[in-house]
A and B are shown apart, each in its own frame.
Chain A
Amino acid sequence: EDKVVQSPLSLVVHEGDTVTLNCSYEVTNFRSLLWYKQEKKAPTFLFMLTSSGIEKKSGRLSSILDKKELFSILNITATQTGDSAIYLCAVGSYSGGSNYKLTFGKGTLLTVNP
């Protein structure tokens, strides 16, 4: 059975701190690893990684994938209160040819205090 494990499950920091969120996985027919931010209801897309060792960056957020060790990290530098959210890691995999689905971890609840 496909498995995605995120750590820590929750984290409280002060504005300006740097945080690192972890995601490890065991998935058959791995295709991609995605990070989503969930503030209220709808998860919103942050990054998709398919190749090992290539860092993706968007402003203060960055992510990297290690396909050999089966994990990814999401870094947020100079955190702001608006970064408070649940961060979801999901692994995309194919089955039966072209059937693609995401398997999610439980998420990391990040709280940034002013």
Chain B
Amino acid sequence: GAGVSQSPSNKVTEKGKDVELRCDPISGHTALYWYRQSLGQGLEFLIYFQGNSAPDKSGLPSDRFSAERTGGSVSTLTIQRTQQEDSAVYLCASSSTTGVYGYTFGSGTRLTVV
């Protein structure tokens, strides 16, 4: 596609529910990243996929968070048993190489846990 697409753009969920956030990267981009951004804060790295390699999960804050990338394209970030502190904007980015030439970010999914 022309850009990185994320859905939904907004998600309100009740505490304890599971949510799935989707990212559709730019076609042909081998690297895909998930970040989250709390209000007024910088971006916090969550997970990184590069081609067929095992993902770098070092940024996932707890075992309630998981992500997969099917067929080297679309990625889904799943948060189980959501907590209020999970409320943030979840940003996905992709890059054509390993990021040296810059990432293209989506507009994010604003998650609100009530």
Q: Do these two chains interact?
A: no
